[in-house]
Amino acid sequence: MNSTSILITGGAGFIGSHFIERLLAEGREKIVCLDNFNRFYDPAVKRANIASFARDPRITLVEADFCEAAATRQLFDDYDVSHVVHLGAYAGVRPSVAEPLVYQQTNVGGTLALLEAARQHAVERFVLISSSTVYGQSAAAPFVEDAPLGVPLSPYGASKRAAEVFGWTYHGLHGVPVVCVRPFSVYGPRLRPDLALSIWTDAIESGRKLPLFGDGTVRRDFTYISDFCTGLLAALERPAAIGQTINLGHAEPIELRQVIATLETALGKKAEIDRQPEKPGEMPITYADLTKARRLLDYQPQVSFEEGVREFVAWFRGRR
């Protein structure tokens, strides 16, 4: 991995910026951070995400859209890309219900443009970041990667599932060394501002009402960013990961009303809850089976939800 480059798509996003910091801490050189700084949330937040490494000589920042197939193909030659971690996407369940076409174009079309470039440039590893939202209502919890998935509940989940299928076709047809990773509710400093944990923290801190859709019994398998990055690094490096789909979660789903209570403790303030009807597209539970991640990646999440929320809240207050 020395003279060739590692390409991180969506490198200015929440997970991408943390993963680049992890690669630098591991002593990696020649990292290409590709991001188009789209307006899904404030691009200024993404500029701040990359502030710690934007001027590092080991980083090349490329501001471009990976859906542009010819330019993406050229980028693989220009930087001699050998490893890809494809994090760039439109994420988020609810906006995908309102704007499904954008999700299809970026998450499916964009992934295909990258797979084409990866095939032509003969990369050594293509880590495709999917999502826990690919599991449908009929999937049995805890979710096992290779058990029947059912039908995704949202266009976002469908777009991620379609991207996975293209990945496996490129693996089978062209031998692209694909690893598919399914993250479960990753959180921590620099969390996306559109996610409930961010919105709720802001509401409790500012004394505003906190919107809660449904009765708060929905459960999410929250995964701390440092644990996720450790698993992702193993997915990038371990030979046994190639050809596999691997969950990266915490295997401890938490009810949303418990999430609010944990935030109240960390912030030292009471939440005022504004109950609203359930939103379509939301999964009642996400719960990762980690048997495969443990076996193939030696993955073992370390950070408890209470500890992770304390870190998140400290960052949130520091930023203000």
Ligand X SMILES: NC(=O)c1ccc[n+]([C@@H]2O[C@H](COP(=O)([O-])OP(=O)(O)OC[C@H]3O[C@@H](n4cnc5c(N)ncnc54)[C@H](O)[C@@H]3O)[C@@H](O)[C@H]2O)c1
Pick from 20, 50, 59, 67 the residue near ligand X by CB under 6 A. 67
Part in contact with ligand X (CB under 6 A); list of ranges 36-44, 53-61, 76-84, 270-278: 36-44
- Among 6, 1, 37, 13, which Cα is nearest to 183's? 13
Query: Which of 1, 4, 21, 37: binder of ligand X (CB under 6 A)?
Result: 37
The tokens for 51 are 């502030």
Phi, psi of 125 (to 5 degrees): -160, 135
Per CB under 6 A, the segment of 22-30, 180-188, 276-284, 290-298 that binds ligand X is: 180-188
Contact between 171 and ligand X by CB under 6 A: the answer reads no
**Binding window for ligand X (CB under 6 A); candidates: 34-42, 231-239, 256-264, 290-298:** 34-42
Residues facing residue 187 across a β-bridge: 224
Task: Report, as residue numbers or ranges, the catalytic residues.
Answer: 156
- Which residue's C-beta sits nearest to ligand X? 13
Which one of the spans 147-155, 170-178, 179-187, 308-316 is the region binding ligand X (CB under 6 A)? 179-187
Dihedral sign, Cα of residue 107, residue 83, residue 164, residue 72? positive
39/277 with CB nearer ligand X = 39
104 binds ligand X per the rule CB under 6 A? no
Task: Please say whether the beta carbons of 143 and 104 come within 8 A.
Answer: no
Q: Closest approach of Cβ 207 to ligand X, in Å?
A: 27
Pairing of strands 219-220, 254-255: antiparallel
Using the rule CB under 6 A, which residue among 87, 233, 235, 293 binds ligand X? 87
Q: Under the criterion CB under 6 A, does residue 66 sit at the interface with ligand X?
A: yes
Q: Cβ distance 280 to 157 under 8 Å?
A: no
From 134, 254, 118, 115, select the one nearest 183 (Cα to Cα): 134
Q: Does 259 bind ligand X (CB under 6 A)?
A: no
Answer for which of 38, 60, 169, 226 binds ligand X (CB under 6 A) is 38
Q: Is residue 185 at the binding interface for ligand X, with CB under 6 A as the rule?
A: yes
Query: Closest by alpha carbon to 54, among 83, 88, 24?
Result: 24
Size of the site for ligand X (CB under 6 A): 30
* In contact, 16 and 88? CB cutoff 8 Å: yes
* Choice between 161 and 171, CB closer to ligand X: 161
H-only helix segments in the chain: 14-25, 43-49, 69-78, 94-98, 100-103, 111-121, 155-174, 196-206, 225-237, 256-267, 291-297, 305-319
CB 187 within 8 A of CB 308: yes
User: Which residue, 177 or 188, is less far from ligand X as judged by CB?
Assistant: 188
Q: Is 93 a binder of ligand X (CB under 6 A)?
A: no
Q: Enumerate binding residues for ligand X (CB under 6 A).
A: 9-10, 12-16, 34-38, 40, 46, 65-67, 87-89, 91, 106, 110, 129, 131-132, 183, 185-186, 192
